[in-house]
Structure 1
Amino acid sequence: MRVVCPYCKSVNNVPQKDSYTKANCGKCKESLLDTKPIELTTLNFDEVIVNSDIPVVVDFWAPWCGPCKMMAPNFQKSAMNFPLKALFVKVNTENEQNLGARFGIRSIPTIIVFKNAKEVHRVSGALDESALNRLVAQFI
């Protein structure tokens, strides 16, 4: 399966398994098991979505948004539960207004799940960690 490195954003081919003890990027050698959410921009959004065989969970947020700030730690914790099962990414709609407009983001935070480069689910409003985990588990 193709997986995007959270550090250098290069595409890696990784054998599909139930669990992993080690998986490093072929380019930068960093661990692909590091599940911290990565920030995407207009320049790399499509490349990451298209080149990921695992679901991509996108948090559309803004730095001035109170509910976004409240949900950020939950998003980060949830990401840790899905190494090489789902890719968690964030889009700052303040900086990336074109992406917000393209996806019709009317309220934030909005979570969109992409699978096979297509939007498969959308939810607006802050979610706690368990709700995020249940949401993502549906698409693995």
Structure 2
Amino acid sequence: MSHHLTCLSCGSVNRVPAERLSAHPKCGTCGAKLAEPRVHDIDTATLRKAETKDTLPLLVDFWAPWCGPCRMMAPEFEKAARALAPNARFAKVNTQIHGDASQRYGIRGIPLLILFRGGQEVARLTGARPAAEIEAFVRSHMAAA
């Protein structure tokens, strides 16, 4: 079995054998790591591609720099990313810079976490959450898939 992963740096779609996920696979176009344990800041064009092409779960934090709860949750989101890599990937979309995200994804408040998998939105979680809750949220939907 193999996974399709959109490079969160350049937007290229890569095919990665499942057994190679923990071997730090790199993008064939730009060389960026594809399944690393960190959060990527992405734009909505990259998100649109990743949400439709990726086979691994992708959890996206929609946030803004002026949002206190968003800033408080950022370290917790990073902890959850480290805990779940390489079986899930994490990204952030700054809704202040990428205003089209609010309308496209029906965002009514931030922080908002949306989990994508296999070309569709799987679930949403609103409000600032500790790492353990974020991990449990993703794991519960990974098990259901």
Task: Determine if the TM-score, normalized by the shorter chain, exceeds 0.5.
Answer: yes
Identify the match of residue 111 of structure 2 among 109, 122, 130. 109
Q: Deviations over 1:62-91 (max 9, x none)?
A: 100000000001111111122231121111
Matched, 1:54 2:56: yes
RMSD: 1.8
**Alpha-carbon shift at residue 105 of structure 1 (Å):** 0.9
C-alpha change, 1:135 and 1:18, in structure 2 (3 Å) is farther
Q: CA deviation at 1:18?
A: 8.9
Q: Which has the higher helix share?
A: 2
Q: Structure 2 matches for 1:60-139, cutoff 5 A? A: 60-139=62-141
CA contact (8 A) 1:60 1:92 kept: yes
Which structure 2 segments of 5+ residues have no match?
Answer: none
**Separation of aligned partners in 2, 1:7 and 1:73:** 21
Of all paired residues, the percent bearing the same amino acid is 36
How many aligned residue pairs are there? Answer: 140
Query: Do the aligned partners of residues 107 and 5 (structure 1) sit closer, same or farther apart at CA in structure 2, a change above 3 Å counting?
Result: same
> Any idea what SS the aligned residue of 1:17 has?
helix
Shift >4 Å, 4+ stretches? none
Q: 2:23 aligns with which of 10, 21, 24?
A: 21
Aligned to 2:12: 10
